[in-house]
Structure 1
Amino acid sequence: MDSLPEDCVSKILSYTSPPDACRFSMVSSTLHSAADSDLLWKSFCPSDYHRILARVLHPHTLDSSSYKNLFFSLCHPLLLDGGNMSFKLEKCSGKKSYILSARKLSIAWSSDPLYWCWRTVPESRFKEVVELRMVSWLEIRGGIWTRVLTANTWYAVYLIMKISHRKYGLDRVACEVSVAVGEKVQSGKVYLCEKDEKKGKKGSVLKMEEEEVMGVAEKREDGWMEIKLGEFFSGENDEQVTMSLMELGYQLKGGLVVEGMEIRPKHHHS
């Protein structure tokens, strides 16, 4: 391979992955030059990176002195759209992921302080999160277009949340979740928190229906909890993805803290 022109080597390496390119750069001087070239790293950057950069809240944090530096800058979470959305690339694949803040979501009655409370918490990546005070009808919806995602990729959608010490009613009825792309809809049921078995034995909570559920919220590395809403394939056409979580059982509930919804690539499709 040392006898090939540098641009040919860069083109060959573009069919590998960013980690592979970094490893190849240590093999020989020819591969090192090709593996560091702008031609190669531009191929790893998203084709719409100019539009992404135009939406970055703090552009001074980006290093665009080379396409390689730009790629790794995009691998760190960046706030977009005035700080209401987070974006990053996966280092291993260069695929895009997004987090829609609570302000980007449609949450029933979230503008009424009797039902929801908007506040700032130091552990959030966004300026505001929203905490549920009391509702009997829980409805949270989000949306994104496949054109801003990586094409032909399986994605999973998660609600990022926490349960405050003031929680009540969240473990009594399962929530309905769905992810829809065009006419393709995936749906299921989840619990926002573990069922309180002790209370159930005392008879102080309603008897739950025996039903198949997709799961309950799990701990994230960033300290928040997440619960899976579903998954979808981005394809090549531009279609709107709609995600939702609903609990319409008219059970009074409170104590849910919502940070946003994450749309991130799946490594294994189930």
Structure 2
Amino acid sequence: MIFREGVLRRWHIVEDEDWILFYKDVLLSSTLLLFQSDRMGAFDELPEECIAAILSRTTPVDAVRLSLVSKTLRSAADSDAVWNHFIPSYPDFIETIVSKSPTFANIRTKKAVYLALCDRYIIISDYEDDNARKSFQLDKKSGKDCYTFSARFLDFTDSMLGFSCSRNIWTLTPDSRFTEVAARADVGWTDFLINICGRINTIDLSPNTQYAAYLVFKVIDVIGCSRPHVEFSVGVGNDHDDVTNPCYHTSKIVCLYRNYQGGANNTVVGLQSSIVRSDGWFEIEMGEFFNLGLENEVKMNVFMEMKDGNQNTRLLFEGIEVRPK
């Protein structure tokens, strides 16, 4: 017998974190044997709230897998008590954004809310600028927070012939999740540098999680650019922190365009290039960072230098996505 005498009937196990974690390990290690031994009967003797407390210390994937083992586990695994633990720790925020989304109007259980937040994103507007939007979603396997910041949320700075200017053209595109994207046309008679900067506070992300930032974009008619690579940097820390420390800061040079043929002066061989997403946009990893759960700021920068410009080159920037690595 895997349980100590009398423990199965002690309701205070729900408040005993050590016991909950002990039973979680037992349950996960015994899953493959549950159909072939009396261990399932032992778990059947536990009150449902105890089983729910144990399952809530696992992962969403484990909870779904264990729900297939027996009716007892299925009942507990489908309960709100379990899925409340998998939804982010700021339920007021979740309740607010869910209540404002018509697609969530008929959802009644926390498990259904979780699965819906994994399958679809919710658009959140900035309080000061309704056009500055971001999308929120959950990672299906881990339940970690994912954000995509629209181009309106980002700071664009251009440098052309020694002057700083802003040449964004805000345009609509039917395949974007946002109402507007930033369109940039290469100016054929000069070189220019684009600097794109995004920021997010780590308290808005899931703690103790490895994250990566991705630039989401499209390239149209790539002709005549002899240097189509960019430099990314991702740093964690406030202004007074040492963001140059490798623990806090990463940077790299990548090739923005897929299948780029650089000609005789090709300088992009061997560089990381973009991939096609399921939504039809391109993405390329900017860098990664570990969120310790402390309040800090993540700074994400794109430095793009265009040489020997051509008016047939056009870039669309949807935004920057931050999701678990």
Single out whichever of 252-261 and 116-125 deviates more from structure 2.
252-261
C-alpha distance in 1, partners of 2:148/2:288? 15
Residue aligning to 1:6: 48
After TM superposition, the score normalised by the length of structure 2 is 0.72
Q: Percent identity?
A: 38
Is 1:180 aligned to 2:229, yes or no? no
Pick the aligned partner of 2:142 from 87, 90, 93: 93
Q: Is the 8 A contact 2:250 2:287 kept in 1?
A: yes
Is 1:38 aligned to 2:109, yes or no? no
Q: Secondary structure at the match of 1:127?
A: coil
Single out whichever of 74-83 and 222-231 deviates more from structure 2.
74-83
Residue aligning to 2:171: 119
Name stretches of at least 5 consecutive residues in structure 1 with no aligned partner: 202-206
User: Matches of residues 1-270 of structure 1 in structure 2 within 5 Å?
Assistant: 1-55=43-97, 58-62=100-104, 63-75=106-118, 76-81=120-125, 82=130, 84-109=133-158, 115-134=167-186, 136-165=192-221, 167-170=222-225, 172-182=227-237, 183=243, 184-194=248-258, 196-197=260-261, 200-201=263-264, 207-209=265-267, 213=271, 215-248=272-305, 252=309, 254-266=313-325
Q: Secondary structure at the match of 1:31?
A: helix
Relative distance call for 1:114 and 1:246 in structure 2 (3 A) is closer
- Please state how far the C-alpha of 1:108 moved relative to its aligned partner: 1.7
Q: Is the 8 A contact 2:195 2:303 kept in 1?
A: yes
Deviations 1:209-236 (A, max 9, x none): 47873x1111111111011110000112
CA RMSD of aligned residues (A): 2.6
Count of matched residue pairs: 257
Name stretches of at least 5 consecutive residues in structure 2 with no aligned partner: 1-42, 238-242
Q: Secondary structure at the match of 1:216?
A: coil
- Structure 1 runs of 4+ aligned residues shifted over 6 Å read none
After TM superposition, the score normalised by the length of structure 1 is 0.85
Q: Which residue type is aligned with residue 322 of structure 2?
A: I
Relative distance call for 1:170 and 1:218 in structure 2 (3 A) is farther
C-alpha distance in 1, partners of 2:149/2:99? 14
Residue aligning to 1:204: none
- Please state how far the C-alpha of 1:252 moved relative to its aligned partner: 3.5
Larger radius of gyration: 2
